[in-house]
C-alpha cells in the first residue's frame, strides 16, 4: 500500500496537535517531519516520535521524501507557507481561513495550480454526522424549497495570536464565519449575492471584535444569517457550538453538529461539562485528504472552497466599514467573487 509522507508546518494553531494524533491512526499516512520555530511547543512530540525537526519550514520543504504538508500557522502566514510548499512540489492541507485577503488567496490557488500540487482547505465540519445527514435530507427534498437558514458558531474566546489582528487578520467574524459559510456553499451550491454585517466588543476587552452578525442573500431568494461570536465563558460546559436552522417550504431542519454529548456532573470538577462522544471529524477529513492524494484524485475540499468561505467573512468586514450592504459579483464566468 502506498503511504503518504507528510510534513507538518507550524503548531501555532492547536488543531495541529489533533491532526498529528489522528494521522497516527491512518494506515496509509505517516508524519515524517515537523517544522516549528518554537521547539518548546512541540518538544513532547519530538520525545515520543521518530521525527525530523526543523526550526525553519523552508529547510523541511527541501526533503524529497515529503509528499504533502499540513499548515497550521498564524493566519497571516498561510499564504507564504502555501506558496513556498507549492514551489517545492508539496501538496497542501491548509488550516482555515485560507488567507486574510482576496488577492493573496487567489495567488495561492494560482501558484498551486502552476506547480501541479493540490490545495485543500481544512473544513472538518463537513464530516460531522449531523451535517452529512442534513445534506442527505436536503438532497431528498424533505423540507421542500429552502428559503432561509440561521447558522450559529459561538465559542470560547481564544488567546495569544488569535486576538492580535496583525497575526490573525481579524476576530470572531473571520474565525467563526468561515465554517458556516462553507457549509452553506456545500449544502446548497448557491452563489452569494450580497452581504451585510455588524460587529461588537461585547464580552471581552480585546483588540479585535468578539461578536458579529452576518446576513447573506443568495441566489433563488434564499437568505442566511450567521451568529458568529466568542460568547461562551470559561464555565460553559463545552467550547462552543455549530448549528443550523434550515427553513423550507414544507418543513424545518434543526441541525446540532455537536449534540453527541454526555452531561457530566462531578465533585472533582468546578463545573458541569459535556463529554463529546461523537465522530472524529478531523480523522475523516485527514483520511479523505490522504486517500485523494494516494489515488491521485482531486481533494474533496478545494482552495476555491476556502476562498469562497473566506470571501464571505471579508465581505462582512467591508460591510461593517461602509455601514451598508455590499453586493457580490464575479470577475468573470469562472472567476472568484468580489464586492462592489
Instruction: Encode the chain (340 residues) as per-residue pLDDT tens digits.
Output: 588 999 999 999 999 999 999 999 999 999 999 999 999 999 999 987 789 999 999 999 999 999 999 999 999 999 999 999 999 999 999 999 999 999 999 999 999 999 999 999 999 999 999 999 999 999 999 999 999 999 999 999 999 999 999 999 999 999 999 999 999 999 999 999 999 999 999 999 999 999 999 999 999 999 999 999 999 988 888 888 999 999 999 999 999 999 888 888 888 888 888 888 888 999 999 999 999 999 999 999 999 999 999 999 999 999 999 999 999 987 765 566 767 6
Instruction: Return the sign of the alpha-carbon dihedral for residues 281, 286, 289, 294.
Output: negative
Give the chain's domains with CATH numbers.
Answer: 4-124+282-300 (3.40.50.720), 126-278+309-339 (3.30.360.10)
pTM here? 0.94
Q: Cα(first)–Cα(last) distance of the chain, in Å?
A: 50
**Shortest CA distance to 82 belongs to which of 42, 103, 55, 110?**
110
Cα 73–chain centre separation = 13
C-alpha cell recorded at residue 125 = 465540519
Contact 245, 279 (CB under 8 A): no
DSSP per-residue codes, 278-318: S--HHHHHHHHHHHHHHTT---SSBHHHHHHHHHHHHHHHH
**Shortest CA distance to 68 belongs to which of 14, 12, 119, 10?**
119
Instruction: State the pLDDT at residue 1.
Output: 57
* Cα 46 to Cα 35, 42, 49, 55, 173, distances in angstroms: 11, 6, 5, 13, 35
Q: Classify 79 as helix, strand or coil.
A: helix
C-alpha cell recorded at residue 260 = 453527541
Amino acid at each position: 500500500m502506498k503511504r503518504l509522507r507528510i510534513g507538518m508546518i507550524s503548531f501555532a494553531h492547536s488543531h495541529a496537535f489533533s491532526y498529528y494524533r489522528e494521522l497516527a491512526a491512518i494506515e496509509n499516512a505517516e508524519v515524517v517531519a515537523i517544522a516549528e520555530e518554537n521547539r518548546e511547543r512541540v518538544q513532547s512530540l519530538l520525545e515520543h516520535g521518530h521525527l525530523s525537526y526543523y526550526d525553519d519550514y523552508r529547510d523541511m520543504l527541501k526533503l524529497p521524501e515529503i509528499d504533502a504538508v499540513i499548515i497550521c500557522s498564524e493566519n497571516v502566514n498561510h499564504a507564504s507557507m502555501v506558496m513556498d510548499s507549492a514551489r517545492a512540489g508539496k501538496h497542501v492541507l491548509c488550516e482555515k481561513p485560507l488567507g486574510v485577503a482576496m488577492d493573496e488567496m487567489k495567488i495561492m490557488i494560482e501558484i498551486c495550480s502552476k506547480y501541479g500540487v493540490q490545495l485543500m482547505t481544512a473544513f472538518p465540519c463537513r464530516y460531522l454526522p449531523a451535517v452529512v445527514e442534513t445534506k442527505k435530507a436536503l438532497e431528498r427534498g424533505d423540507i421542500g424549497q429552502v428559503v432561509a437558514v440561521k447558522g450559529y458558531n459561538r465559542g470560547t474566546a481564544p488567546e495569544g495570536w488569535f486576538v492580535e489582528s496583525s497575526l490573525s487578520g481579524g476576530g470572531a467574524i473571520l474565525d467563526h464565519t468561515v465554517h458556516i459559510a462553507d457549509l452553506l456553499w456545500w449544502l446548497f451550491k448557491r452563489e452569494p449575492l450580497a452581504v451585510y454585517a455588524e460587529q461588537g466588543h461585547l464580552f471581552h476587552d480585546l483588540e479585535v471584535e468578539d461578536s458579529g452578525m452576518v446576513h447573506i442573500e443568495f441566489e433563488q431568494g434564499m437568505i442566511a444569517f450567521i451568529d458568529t461570536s466568542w460568547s461562551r465563558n470559561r464555565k460553559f460546559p463545552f467550547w462552543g457550538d455549530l448549528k443550523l436552522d434550515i427553513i423550507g417550504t414544507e418543513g424545518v431542519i434543526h441541525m446540532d453538529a455537536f449534540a453527541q454529548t454526555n452531561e457530566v456532573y462531578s465533585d472533582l470538577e468546578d463545573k458541569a461539562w459535556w463529554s463529546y462522544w461523537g465522530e472524529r471529524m478531523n480523522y475523516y477529513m485527514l483520511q479523505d485528504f490522504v486517500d485523494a492524494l494516494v489515488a491521485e484524485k482531486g481533494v474533496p475540499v478545494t482552495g476555491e472552497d476556502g476562498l469562497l468561505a473566506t470571501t464571505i467573512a471579508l465581505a462582512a468586514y467591508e460591510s461593517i466599514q461602509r455601514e451598508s450592504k455590499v453586493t457580490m459579483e464575479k470577475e468573470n464566468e469562472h472567476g472568484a467573487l468580489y464586492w462592489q
